[in-house]
Amino acid sequence: MPQTATEKQRTNVTLNAANLAVARELGLNVSAISDAALADAVRAAKAKAWARENAEAIAERRAWIEANGTPLADLQVLKID
């Protein structure tokens, strides 16, 4: 059964002992911090993968705009030159 966004799953991670000790002294929620850092890493990896997978189409679009200009540029209200 797939997990929902709010479901939690136990796992084991290895952390630097000194950092963990200080985090506990400061009352930091190591689990929440780790989850947030993992979510950021996943978002960044997905963005890189998307950019890699679509690099050719993006390059073609940029080349087309360079050759033909921005579509509907004559209707653009705010022109940046």
Taking only the tens place, the pLDDT of each residue in 48-80 is 999 999 999 999 999 999 999 888 887 877 767
pTM of the model: 0.69
Whether residue 30 contacts residue 36, with contact meaning beta carbons closer than 8 Å, is answered with no
pLDDT at 4 over 80: no
Roughly what angle, to the nearest 10 degrees, separates helices 55-68 and 30-53? 60
pLDDT at 11 over 70: yes
Q: Containing H/E element for 36?
A: helix 30-53
**Top-confidence residue, 34 or 1:** 34
